[in-house]
């Protein structure tokens, strides 16, 4: 990847991260102020002595909550991702495989021009890996125990280079934020629906004077649909972003190692693993080098796959890497995939 392409990709990911937080806050503002307005309409026709909702408590509280959650996701999102996988930090290597991993990470840090990330081991026998963090100085690289046991040194180097590419491209910031905020939206949606289920019957006695009845009904339906669909939409967004970034990370990682065949061989071994990566759940699936859930949709192409799959088809990724290896062998030059 050329330097100009790299800087452009980094800038795009910084912009997308900022936009993601802004959309997240605006969504909460709609949920809060929309609820305030719905309650205002429902109480507008009540007797003078009854409660009339005038101060937007819900909107102000929702905006404060959104800002707080966005800040928490920024500061603690990576730790939450690692905690959810039960990963433990590799500080002192205790086995030859762990020492090899440390050596490879140090080599790829030098090749990529990045600080060495913290290394984590996920207690899972399925081969997989991911990177997380907010920038190159606060990055974490995690691999499963199955990956260490399965790959050769060249293959491990390819996988580590791929994850270092995500760090260098600032993919980790965007995808870590997505992982944290997707989980938050799922919790908020669930809590809101529980409130509607148990408390929605209150306040139904409000009058429809002033013609607010149809408007109230429309707003309430739109509000409920928004709350219900938010986790689904955010999950689809995470999947779409993940698919696009994998090709770029494959190519950038090959630039670091000068050995595209190493990553191609690693992906072939990872693809043949039959069991899902049980330690990694759907909320962080888009962070991994391959879909940890083993869903068949990731092997397909087309509009549906583009919407629902977390990763591009493995066969296509492997074919691209092998083509890069062939070109490098023939010309001594790797193609610029930036």
Are the C-beta atoms of residues 178 and 79 closer than 8 Å to each other?
no
Does 11 qualify as catalytic in the annotation? no
Name the 3-class secondary structure at 208. coil
> Which H or E run contains 15?
helix 3-44
Are the C-beta atoms of residues 74 and 273 closer than 8 Å to each other?
no
Phi-psi map region of 302: left, alpha, beta (phi>0 left; psi -120 to 50 alpha): left
Q: Which residue out of 136, 155, 163, 246 is catalytically annotated?
A: 163
Measured distance CA(65)–CA(60) in Å, rounded: 9
Measured distance CA(270)–CA(151) in Å, rounded: 9
| Beta strand residue intervals within the chain, DSSP E | 88-89, 118-122, 129-133, 139-144
Name the 3-class secondary structure at 127. coil
* Residue reference for tokens 């013609």: 211
Beta-carbon contacts of residue 173 (< 8 Å; ≥ 6 apart): 13, 14, 17, 133, 134, 135
Beta-bridge partners for 141:
119, 131
Are the C-beta atoms of residues 176 and 283 closer than 8 Å to each other?
no
C-alpha distance from residue 262 to each of 120, 155, 158, 259 (Å): 22, 5, 5, 6
Name the 3-class secondary structure at 187. helix
The catalytic site residues sit at 163
């Amino acid at each position: 990847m050329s330097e100009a392409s790299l800087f452009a990709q980094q800038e795009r990911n910084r912009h997308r991260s900022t936009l993601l937080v802004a959309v997240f806050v605006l969504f909460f503002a709609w949920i809060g102020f929309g609820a305030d307005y719905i309650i205002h309409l429902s109480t507008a026709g009540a007797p003078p002595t009854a409660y009339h909702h005038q101060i937007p408590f819900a909107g102000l509280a929702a905006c404060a909550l959104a800002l707080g959650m966005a800040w928490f996701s920024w500061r603690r999102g990576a730790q939450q991702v690692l905690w959810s996988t039960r990963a433990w930090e590799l500080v002192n290597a205790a086995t030859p495989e762990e020492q090899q991993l440390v050596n490879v990470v140090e080599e790829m840090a030098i090749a990529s021009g990045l600080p060495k990330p913290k290394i984590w081991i996920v207690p899972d026998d399925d081969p997989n890996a991911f990177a997380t963090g907010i920038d190159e100085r606060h990055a974490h690289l995690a691999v499963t125990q199955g990956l260490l046991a399965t790959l050769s040194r060249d293959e491990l180097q390819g996988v580590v280079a791929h994850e270092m590419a995500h760090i260098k491209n600032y993919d980790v910031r965007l995808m870590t934020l997505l992982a944290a905020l997707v989980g938050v939206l799922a919790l908020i949606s669930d809590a809101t629906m529980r409130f509607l289920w148990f408390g929605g019957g209150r306040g139904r006695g409000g009058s429809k004077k002033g013609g607010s009845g149809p408007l109230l009904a429309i707003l309430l339906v739109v509000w409920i649909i928004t709350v219900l669909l938010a986790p689904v939409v955010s999950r689809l967004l995470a999947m779409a972003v993940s698919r696009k970034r994998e090709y770029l990370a494959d190519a950038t990682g090959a630039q670091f190692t000068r050995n595209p065949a190493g990553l191609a061989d690693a992906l072939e071994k990872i693809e043949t693993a039959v069991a899902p990566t049980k330690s990694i759940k759907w909320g962080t699936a888009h962070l991994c080098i391959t879909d940890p859930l083993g869903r068949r949709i990731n092997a397909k192409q087309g509009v549906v796959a583009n919407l629902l799959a977390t990763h591009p088809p493995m066969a296509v990724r492997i074919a691209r890497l092998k083509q890069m290896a062939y070109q490098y062998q023939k010309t001594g030059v790797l193609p610029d995939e930036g």
